[in-house]
Amino acid sequence: MNTLKISLLAGLLGVIGGLVVWQMASGDGFQFFPVAAGAGAFGTTAFFWWFIVTRRQDYRARIGVLAGGLSGMVSHYICWYLYLVGANGCYWLTGGCTSSLGEPPIDLLNGLWGMLIFSLISLMFVGWLTVPLGMLAGGWYAWKIGRRYSTLVAKGD
């Protein structure tokens, strides 16, 4: 349940960030960005929180900081790749979502490499916000759960 809560928070923040990008972006095709950003943030947070914190039941703040920081970093790549999947789906189903020159989006296999470039660029522009925010949220949430967990263990519940 703890993994779901922190992942939902991250997903909500991803959607909000994606809406900002969509509104600021020039050109068409960014309508998928809020969904991609929300899903990327949710998925990476769920994975890292489960793998690093919940699975080991290690609710120390520094472990939460690690999980949150990794999520804030890796979510950029997942977001851009999900965005590419949406753009390809739009192109395949409707013929839309082409570039300004009318070209289709990059294919999904080449997109594995191409989206790495986009994610590195987005990390330069907004990673200074997403990584520390993830670290802060992860550390605070782990600390909060750890306090509750240690109280229950001390009471023998």
Task: Give the model confidence (pLDDT) of 124-136 as tens digits.
Answer: 999 999 999 999 9
Instruction: Return the pLDDT at 153.
Output: 52
Q: Cβ(137)–Cβ(145) under 8 Å? A: no
The answer to pTM > 0.75 is yes
**CA 53 to CA 21: how far, in whole Å?**
30
Question: Does position 150 have pLDDT exceeding 80, yes or no?
Answer: no
- For range 88-96, the mean pLDDT: 90
Q: Which two tokens stand for residue 9?
A: 């928070």
Question: Does position 74 have pLDDT exceeding 80, yes or no?
Answer: yes
